[in-house]
Structure 1
Amino acid sequence: MKLSNDFVLSFFGLKEGKHRFEYKIDKQFFESYSFDEFLDADFSVTLDFVKKSTLLELHFENKGMATVACDVTNEPFELPLDGSLDLVVKFGDTYNDENEEVLILPHGEHQLDVSQYIYEMIALTVPLKKIHPGIEDGSLKSDILNKLEELSPDKNKETDEIDPRWEDLKKLLIDKNK
C-alpha cells in the first residue's frame, strides 16, 4: 500500500506548541487499504498536533459522509460518520505500537505516517449494521423490501384453531391444580 506523502508528518522542524493539519479523505484512500464497504466517501479530518520537548500529542477528528449499501435491502444511502482519536507519541529505544493510545518511536525518528490512524478512526465509526433510514421511517419503496415483507411470517394471521394435542396437555395442567 502506497499513499502520498501528504500523510507523513515531519515534526523535526516544527516549533514546540500546537499545530493544526487538515486532510480530505475520499474513496481512493480507503481503496488503498482494501476497505470496500464505502461506495463513495467524503471526509474532512482535522489533526491538532502538540509538540512538547519529550513527547507529541495528536488529536484527530473526522466528520463526513460515506455512501454505503443497506444491509437489509442493498440500497445505497449516505451515512454520516464522525469520530475522534487521541494518540500520544513518546520516544524510546525501539518502535512499539502495542498500546492503542501510546506509540513509541525510536530516538532520532523525525516523521510519522498518520494515514493508518486516520483509516482506523473512520473505519471504527462504521456501525455493525447499516440500515437505510427509509426502512425505519417507512418511506423506502423497494422491490427487495416488498419481497421481504411478502416472505415474512404474518403476525396478524393467528389461527383460533389449536392442535388437539395441546388441548390434552392443558387438561393435565388443570387436573394437577385441583
Structure 2
Amino acid sequence: MKDLKDFDISFIGLKEGLHQFEYLIEKEFFDFFNYDELNNSNVIVQLSFLKKTTMFELNFSFSGWVEVACDITNELYHQPIKTESELIIKFGETFNNENEELLVIPHSEFKVNVAQYIYESIVLALPLKRIHPGVEDGTLKSDILEKLKELEPKELKDKIDKEDIDPRWNKLKNILIDKNTSNGTS
C-alpha cells in the first residue's frame, strides 16, 4: 500500500443505488496514522455505499483481528474485532466533520476518502484494557505471571481472609423480602 488513495470513493461516476466495497486492513494501514499499538492486523471491512440524490449513506461492517500486547503480561495475542458503524454524507457550503455520524462536504467535491473512518472505528473497537485470553482462563504460562504471583502482597490477602465481617452484616443476609408484599412505597 503506497498511500490511502485506495480508500477514495469517486461518487461522481456511481449510479444512484447501493454499491459494495471491501477493504483488507493490515499493519501498513495503521502506519499511515502513526498508530504503533498494533503489531499486526487482518480486518475485513465491508462497506455498503447507498447513493441518493442529495446524500450518501455508508454502513461499515468490520470483522477480523488485530495483534496487540496484553496489558498484564505484554504477551502478543489476537484481539477479535467485530463492529459496525454508520456515516451519512451530505453536501453543504464548507467541509464539516464535527459530528461523528454526519460528514458535510462542499458541493464541488467529487470523491470521499473513508480511511479516517475505518481507522477510527477499528481503534475505538479495541477494549480499553487488553488482557490475553490465557490470563483470563488461566492457561497462559508466563514468567511475568509467575513473578506477579510471587510479588503479590500476602499479608494483605491473609488479613482480608482472616478478618471477621461485622456480625450486623451477617444478620442482614438472613432477611428475605417477599416480592409480592408492599415495601411501604406507593
TM class, shorter-chain normalised?
0.7 to 0.9
Give 2:158's aligned amino acid: K
* Equivalence for 1:129: 129
Normalised to the residue count of structure 1, the TM-score between the two structures is 0.85
Tell me the alpha carbon deviations over residues 95-153 of structure 1, each in whole angstroms, 9 at most, x when there is no partner. Answer: 11111111111112110010000000101001000001111111111110000000011
Match of 2:47 in 1: 47
Unaligned runs of 5+ in 2: 164-186
Match of 1:96 in 2: 96
- Secondary structure of the residue that 1:157 maps to in structure 2? helix
Partner of 2:71: 71
Do residues 111 (structure 1) and 111 (structure 2) align? yes
* Amino acid across the alignment from 1:135: V
1:2-43: CA deviation from partner (whole Å, max 9, x where unpaired): 723210100001000000000000000011101111111001
User: Unaligned stretches of 5+ in structure 1?
Assistant: 163-178
CA distance, structure 2, for counterparts of residue 84 and residue 30 of structure 1: 19
CA RMSD of aligned residues (A): 2.0
Residue 90 of structure 1 aligns to a residue whose secondary structure is strand
**2-structure distance, mates of 1:86, 1:115:** 14
Normalized against structure 2, the TM-score is what? Answer: 0.82
**Could you say which residue in structure 1 is the equivalent of 2:35?**
35
- Whichever residue aligns with residue 66 of structure 2, its letter is A
User: Aligned residues: percent identity?
Assistant: 51
Q: Distance in 2 between matches of 1:156 and 1:104?
A: 57
Larger Rg: 1
